[in-house]
Structures are given as structure tokens and as C-alpha cells.
Structure 1
Amino acid sequence: MQPYVTLNIKDEVGYIEFFHPEQNAMPTENLKKLEETIVGAGANEAIKIIVLKSGGDRTFCAGASFKELVAIENKEVGTQFFSGFANVINAMRLCPKLIIGRVQGKVVGGGVGLAAATDYCLATQFASIKLSELSIGIGPFVIEPAVSRKIGKAAMSQMTINAETFYIAQWAKEKGLYAEVYDSVDALDEAVEAFVTKLSAYNPKALQQMKQVFWEGTAHWDTLLLQRAEISGTLVLSEFAKERLERFK
């Protein structure tokens, strides 16, 4: 199957779905399409609530595209690559509609940033999370503000330092990343549909104003996340990172 990003509207709910055959990893092209789709859905008057989901019934998102990561040869390309997640997170932050996350499986690296940037996130018991960046010589710099905002600096630090460990979905719920955890994908989908149906009946102006309140104090992310992308874009060129990436390759 080919990578895609789609938007389907049903009963005033916009379902944004992304997919990549490599465990829903996110290459630059998909990140750009995802950013544009979120911006478009935010401006679409036919949509009151947005659901962010991924295709397939296993991994929600494996993070950045490994193939692109190993191919980075200079700082400019590296910065541009990591800016992809920065731009998506900022699009989610600035979107006037509430974004509900639907996480069916494991979440790694940048995918944790996507889940953290949703306004309310529901998941299955299989949706364990991991921040593996330090183990390959870089770090979760771009997504750190979004993750720390959601689960706190202490939990973010724990995940970052213990970079090769998956943390179970229940742990993620206890820390605030997930609002609820369900036993199966079917149960998750039923809960998501019921929840967004209820939300879409609320006053959209009130929802929009509350979202602005939720994200107070983040206006500087427009520049902060791009500065963080530059850090990662530089580190990925280091001898340490190149050696680690070559092992995985």
C-alpha cells in the first residue's frame, strides 16, 4: 500500500487518517500533507470536531521515517526534516477545532508528540509509548514541549533517558497522555464515535475559546520548535549518530 493522508467528514466530524507501510512512520511528504490537512480541516465550516487517527490496526506511529533519517547529509536538510513534526504540532496547536486522538497501537518518537498535541486522546491497551531518540544519538527536542506540557517534565525526562523502554498504555494514562484506555480497537472506535458525537453538539464558539485557553503560553512555539529542529538536524550528522543509524540500517 502507498502512504496517504486523508480527510473524511461524517456528521460534522473530520476524520484525518495518515498511513505509511513502514509502521506508520512519517516521511517529509506525509508530514507536509498532514500539516496541510489539519489547517484545511480547521478552516472547513462543515467540521466541528477533528479526529486524528492512523491506518491499520497495529502501530499508531513509528515516528520519523528511518530511510530519510539515514540519508541526511547536511544541516539544512536535517533541519528541514525535523521541522516536519514541528510544523504539524504547531498546526494542531493553532487549529481552532478540538482534535481528538485515536491511538490503536504502539507510539514511538515523533508519534508521541502527535498524541501529546491532541486536545484529548483515547487509546487501546496496546498503545505503549517510547522515546528512543537518545539511543540513536539525537533527542526528542522538537516534540519535548508538547510531551512535557501533557505529561510533565519528570515523566518526559524518565522516558527520554530510559530510551529503549516501552511504557505501557496504563502508565501513559496515569501521566495524562491518554484520557481513557480500552481493551480493544473495536471498543476504542465505539468510544471515539460516541465522544465526538457528543462534542459536536456543543457550542463551537465555546469549544474554540476553550481551546485557546488550553494552549495559553505556547505562542513562542512558532519559533521554539523550529529552533529545536535545528538542534536535531545538527546532531543527526554527528559521528555517534551516523554510527548508530548505520547499525540499525
Structure 2
Amino acid sequence: MSTTRQNGSLYTNIQNNIATIEFGHPASNSFPSELLARLTNELISVGHNNGVSVIILKSEGEKAFCAGASFDELVAISNLEEGKQFFAGFANVLNAMRSCGKLIVGSIQGKAVGGGVGLAAACDYVLVTENAAIKLSEFTIGIGPFVIEPAVTRKIGVAGTAELTLDATSWKSAYWAKEKGLYAKVFETQKELDDEVEILAEKLASYDPEALAEMKKVLWKGTEEWDDLLAERAAVSGQLVLSDYTKKALAKFKK
């Protein structure tokens, strides 16, 4: 069931120490600022919940996983402060995923673009269907994937990030992303994906929560300065989005 709500939807279901957080938006599960803020708060809240050992992050429907930032909001940015605020939305989500204290399993059923690739990269373990191709197309509208870059590079290395970013008009397959280390396993069908995510989450939830929390710290070692780093990156994107190049490119896309 896909949401028709303009600001998108966010549902959390907690069962057997597993929190499933599901987001949705009618525009290919893209993120307006309000939905990014809600997801950030939800991750922090679930992170503090002692009844949760593991988080599953997924999106609604069977098509796109996440088309990144809301196009309408991107077009509407008119000054540096608005630009910075907008991109800080993704920075906040990535930092919440990094620091919430719970391991996050990503369940990805379809394509991921821009910020959607960042979400995938900030999960601790990602299972996908073979429809989960990825693209970082930010250059085509005059900006770059600056906020999500640390998360992506942490998973696929500088060479992988360069290939993805510089070839801004090409999709990379789910198998390419698995080979690079972004994805752990690729399945042929949605049903297989759902079943495997459930099995993995149940196994993780049966382990010692303290051991899981310590492992989360180990996996994210060296990212302690991300609060500042991602805020700086949001400012870079916020400035670039105001350029004539971007305004023209967005106007062309809108048509």
C-alpha cells in the first residue's frame, strides 16, 4: 500500500525486539524536509528504546526504494539558509542512523537515487532485490552528493564513489553495488527479500543486545566528527543549489 499523503508517511512497528521503520511518499518515496525530520526523531527514539535490539529500515510499495530529496522543495529554495536547512535534513538522518546505538538492516526493493543511496550506505547490513539499482545524478543539476558522500565512501571506497558520482547519468546494478560492498545480498523476488530480512532480524534480535550495541560502535569507529562534517557539507550543497546552473537545470527538469 503506497501513501498519498503530501508530506509522506512514517510507520514504526515493534515486535519481538525488532523495530520496523517504514517510510513512504507518493513521489517515488522521496523525502520532503518534514519527513526527514520525522525519520530522524524516530531513529533517535527507537535508539533509546530498551525493548528494541535491531531496526529494519524499508520503504513502501514495490517500486522505488527512495528517489532522494523532494524535487518540489529543491526547486523552492531561494536563499543560503533555506538551502543549508534543506540539505541538513539528510545530514541529520545519517547522523541518527550512525549514532542511534542499534544495528540497522536495510530492506531495499527497488531503485535508489541520491539521498536514497546515502540511506542505504548508512545501514549496517543491506539486503535487496535485483531491482535495487543505484544512481548519483546530482551533477546533472549542478550540485553534488556532498552530504551523503562520507557514508557512501565508507562503504564502497573513493574509487567506487568517484565512478558513481562522475558517471552521473548511468544506473549501476544491484550486483555492482554488492560487489563494491554497499549491499550484502541480492535476491530475485520481493518475497525472498522479505523472508530473508525477517530471518536475519530474528537472529540478530536473539543475540545479546549489549554485544550488538558494542558492535555498532566498532563498525562506526572514526566517524565521530560527522555532526560537524555533514553540517559543513550541507552548507556546500545549500550554496550550490542557488547557482544559475542549478536554477536552469531544475527548470528544465520541471518541464
TM-score w.r.t. the length of structure 1 is: 0.99
Aligned pair partner of 2:33 in 28, 41, 52: 28
Deviation at 1:10, TM superposition (A): 1.6
Are positions 1:245 and 2:250 aligned together?
Answer: yes
Aligned pair partner of 2:48 in 43, 46, 54: 43
* Aligned mates of 1:185, 1:86 — CA distance in 2: 29
Say what the alpha-carbon RMSD is for the aligned residues: 0.5
Q: What are the Cα deviations for residues 198-245 of structure 1, in whole angstroms up to 9, with x where unaligned?
A: 110011101101110110110110100010000000000000011000
- 1:114 alignment partner in structure 2: 119
* Aligned mates of 2:191, 2:60 — CA distance in 1: 14
Q: Aligned residues, how many?
A: 249
Deviation at 1:6, TM superposition (A): 1.2
Q: What is the one-letter code of the residue matched to 1:114?
A: L
- 1:84 alignment partner in structure 2: 89
Aligned with 1:100: secondary structure? strand
Are positions 1:12 and 2:17 aligned together?
Answer: yes
- 2:105 alignment partner in structure 1: 100
- 1:57 alignment partner in structure 2: 62
Aligned with 2:67: secondary structure? coil
Aligned pair partner of 1:136 in 129, 136, 141: 141
Aligned with 1:84: secondary structure? helix
Deviation at 1:182, TM superposition (A): 0.3
Aligned pair partner of 2:175 in 132, 157, 170: 170
Is the 2:53–2:212 Cα contact (8 Å) retained in structure 1?
no
Q: What is the one-letter code of the residue matched to 1:93?
A: R
- 1:200 alignment partner in structure 2: 205
* Aligned mates of 1:100, 1:141 — CA distance in 2: 24
Is the 2:187–2:193 Cα contact (8 Å) retained in structure 1?
yes
Are positions 1:69 and 2:104 aligned together?
Answer: no
Which ranges in structure 1 are unaligned for 5 or more consecutive residues? none
Q: What are the Cα deviations for residues 47-93 of structure 1, in whole angstroms up to 9, with x where unaligned?
A: 11100000111100000000000000000000000000000000000
Q: What is the one-letter code of the residue matched to 1:159?
A: L
* Aligned mates of 2:46, 2:105 — CA distance in 1: 13
* Aligned mates of 1:146, 1:62 — CA distance in 2: 17
* Aligned mates of 2:71, 2:32 — CA distance in 1: 8
* Aligned mates of 2:15, 2:161 — CA distance in 1: 35
* Aligned mates of 1:231, 1:151 — CA distance in 2: 22
Aligned with 2:11: secondary structure? strand
Q: What are the Cα deviations for residues 102-130 of structure 1, in whole angstroms up to 9, with x where unaligned?
A: 00000000000000000001000000000
* Aligned mates of 1:57, 1:8 — CA distance in 2: 19
* Aligned mates of 1:80, 1:6 — CA distance in 2: 24
Are positions 1:149 and 2:154 aligned together?
Answer: yes
Aligned with 1:166: secondary structure? coil
Is the 2:17–2:52 Cα contact (8 Å) retained in structure 1?
yes
Superposition misfits of 4+ residues, deviation over 6 angstroms: none
- 2:221 alignment partner in structure 1: 216
Deviation at 1:100, TM superposition (A): 0.4
- Percentage of identical aligned residues: 55
- 2:235 alignment partner in structure 1: 230
